[in-house]
Structure 1
Amino acid sequence: MALLSALAFGGSGVAAKPLIAAGLEPLHVTWLRVTGAALVMLPVAWRHRDLPRRRPALLAGFGLLAVAGVQACYFAALSRIPVGVALLIEYLAPALVLGWVRFVQKRPVSRAAAVGVVLAVGGLACVVEVWSGLSFDALGLLLALGAACCQVGYFVLSDHGGDGEGDAVPDPLGVIAYGLLIGALVLTVVARPWNLHWSVLGGTADMNGIEVPAALLLAWIVLVATVAAYLTGVVSIRRLSPQVAGVVACLEAVIATVLAWVLLGEHLSAPQITGGAVVLIGAFIAQSAKPRTEPGEAGTGTVTVAGGGAPAADAHGPRTARDGTTEPSGDELSAGSPTT
């Protein structure tokens, strides 16, 4: 699910760039993306209309941080610093998530997740070729860091939304629907869509020499790069953990770069290919921090932690991992309950 989310988010750039080249402002494309997704999810919001009363803080935080905050801060940063630098700073979010888990939540962080973050950030620096446009702009860097902090909010709030039992756990669809609605309202004030060149959407956009209907590109951005991306992302965070899902999310930049190479003709350099491989390795190492189930004796659910060596409990009781965190029983895992 995390890989699907990274693939969906990573595919937004190759669809948005032709629209921007056709005459739309980047912030207007963002407003169309979020507002269109909010309209698609409107029936879901109505179905979960009791959610604002039950979890108002969660929905407000998700809409302001995970939807509007990331987009607004990132595009504002792009107006002052190079794209590569802004991307690199935004994807410091996995490292910030580790700091949040370790120092704010007072929970231990696995060595695999920490190593994965270091490798992913280093590889990402090569993918975006940060050295090719390095410049210092204090406000631009601060805005990019703001985007990273908002992305931390996305991971933490998505995980927090899985807290509780039974009916107390908010449906991910409802959280995403209301988050998009709140984000659309905030971005309407920021983007001022009344100045949008609507005629562009009725024409075509050039994608590496191929004329593609602009409406089709917008539909991809709304349905795949937003609705599907957020849904798979929130579900994956609940089943993994914020720190692991955050490292896997670094693949978004790699996927975006590769898709730009294939669909837009933007060629990759040797450092970019090497950096992409390093990010993949970092994501794989971080994934090894996730508890997994293995078949045990009849009637027993055996839970192990990557690296082995920890005793497991039977299927009717939790066990304590080597890092001191309590892991769910075999029945809980087989039932698909989120693990942290």
Structure 2
Amino acid sequence: MDGARLRASGLGLGIVSAITFGTSGPFGKALITAGYSPLQASWTRIAGTTLVLVPLALLLRGRAAGRAVRGRWPLLLLYGVMGIAGCQSLYFLAASRLPVGVAILLEFTGPVLVVGWMRFVQGRSVPRSASIGVGIALVGLACVVEVWSGLGIDPLGLLAGLGAAACQAAYFLLIDKVGDDVDPLVMTAAGSTVGVVLLAVAAPPWRIPWHLLTTGVRFGDRLTPGWLLVVWIVLISTVTAYLTGVAAVQRLSAPVAGAVAYIETVSAALCAWIALGERLGVPQLAGGAIVLAGAFVAQRSVAPGGPVVEPVPYLEAAGVTSSDG
């Protein structure tokens, strides 16, 4: 496949990934409202994904899957902890306490956190355009949380959303670092296995209200079988989203795929509006647009080819640096 076709397929995969990822918040929030905790909803989501992907990876990749995992296990371990377990759990926690649209906007401040970490924790210089992007995003974030009303947003939800942002940044950097060494199927299966084991400690499966799967769960103004919501979250919002997302990053690079992923915010907000009746106010809509613009500028400024490219400290130990274009 030539370069143009490769990029075109990567763009298409990135769009599919963003739209399907965006549906997870509303569907997951319906389960949480019915009686699941955010961690239980995350464990159920990741467990279902693992049950689908691990046998598939073994069937289709065989021994090659084992060799790939052995060769890249430190990165895959970190990917499972942050890119899957951390990102999903913190996002569900944020969405359970905030409107889905606000939670997803907080998650997409990931590039801003990367720049802030580089500048204030590492003490490294960053491009002026990156600082401008951060400033723009912070103004938008102030509008999203409506600071003029005394920061009435739920503080735990705010912290969870920002934690999800850090994990989202790690998700793209880790995929780009692994590159073509591990194919999307094996990488997602390995990461899901790590995530399901990790979350089982915090959300023991025997405490999950499994009876909700056979009863009606309120999804907006209608009752929907709980199992149907879980099937959607597993097959569409996770399996499809992660496989296409990893494939997109491998074809486009982390900065470009990260930019395409901003479509997820629109998908999540629209889905929450249609399914749950959640509407964002004018300040939050305006703030969301400003946040995305600022995050986009910041992200592009620290992409390879810019004046400064620095590793994120908590990834540096695993040998993860910014993507190589």
How does the TM-score come out when normalised to structure 1? 0.69
CA distance, structure 2, for counterparts of residue 184 and residue 126 of structure 1: 36
Aligned to 2:249: 237
1:64 aligns with 2:81: yes
After superposition, the Cα gap between the structure-2 partners of 1:187 and 1:138, relative to the gap in structure 1 and judged at 3 Å, is same
Which one of the candidate residues 160, 182, 197 is aligned to 2:177? 160
* CA displacement, residues 61-101 of structure 1 (integer Å, 9 cap, x when unaligned): 1111111122344566789x866886665433112344678
* CA displacement, residues 316-336 of structure 1 (integer Å, 9 cap, x when unaligned): xxxx978699xxxxxxxxxxx
After superposition, the Cα gap between the structure-2 partners of 1:17 and 1:242, relative to the gap in structure 1 and judged at 3 Å, is same
Aligned to 1:91: 108
Which one of the candidate residues 63, 67, 72 is aligned to 1:55? 72
Aligned to 2:230: 218
After superposition, the Cα gap between the structure-2 partners of 1:154 and 1:194, relative to the gap in structure 1 and judged at 3 Å, is same
Q: 3-state DSSP class of the match of 1:206?
A: strand
After superposition, the Cα gap between the structure-2 partners of 1:86 and 1:205, relative to the gap in structure 1 and judged at 3 Å, is closer
Residue type at the aligned position of 1:69: G
CA distance, structure 2, for counterparts of residue 201 and residue 34 of structure 1: 16
Which one of the candidate residues 8, 30, 46 is aligned to 2:42? 30
* Structure 1 residues 202-281: aligned runs within 5 Å: 202-278=214-290
After superposition, the Cα gap between the structure-2 partners of 1:74 and 1:253, relative to the gap in structure 1 and judged at 3 Å, is same
Deviates more, 1:43-52 or 1:179-188: 43-52
Structure 1 residue 255, shift from structure 2 partner: 2.7
After superposition, the Cα gap between the structure-2 partners of 1:19 and 1:260, relative to the gap in structure 1 and judged at 3 Å, is same
Deviates more, 1:240-249 or 1:226-235: 240-249
Aligned to 2:201: 189
Residue type at the aligned position of 2:241: A
How does the TM-score come out when normalised to structure 2? 0.72
Structure 1 residue 25, shift from structure 2 partner: 2.2
* CA displacement, residues 113-133 of structure 1 (integer Å, 9 cap, x when unaligned): 776665556445545656667
After superposition, the Cα gap between the structure-2 partners of 1:90 and 1:281, relative to the gap in structure 1 and judged at 3 Å, is closer
CA RMSD of aligned residues (A): 4.0
Structure 1 residue 183, shift from structure 2 partner: 0.5
After superposition, the Cα gap between the structure-2 partners of 1:130 and 1:4, relative to the gap in structure 1 and judged at 3 Å, is farther
After superposition, the Cα gap between the structure-2 partners of 1:285 and 1:89, relative to the gap in structure 1 and judged at 3 Å, is closer
Structure 1 residue 222, shift from structure 2 partner: 0.6
Structure 1 residue 179, shift from structure 2 partner: 0.3
Residue type at the aligned position of 1:255: S
Q: 3-state DSSP class of the match of 2:66?
A: coil
Deviates more, 1:24-33 or 1:116-125: 116-125
Residue type at the aligned position of 2:170: G
Contact 1:65 1:154 in 2 (8 A): yes
- Of all paired residues, the percent bearing the same amino acid is 46
Taking CA–CA contacts closer than 8 Å with sequence separation of 6 or more, which of the two structures ends up with the larger relative contact order?
A: 2
Count of residue correspondences: 292
Structure 1 residue 9, shift from structure 2 partner: 1.6
Structure 1 residue 245, shift from structure 2 partner: 3.6
Structure of larger gyration radius: 1
CA distance, structure 1, for counterparts of residue 114 and residue 194 of structure 2: 24
Q: Which protein is richer in helix relative to its size?
A: 2
1:19 aligns with 2:36: no
Contact 1:74 1:143 in 2 (8 A): yes
In structure 2, list runs of 5 or more residues that go unmatched. 1-12, 310-322
Residue type at the aligned position of 1:154: Y
Q: 3-state DSSP class of the match of 1:41?
A: helix
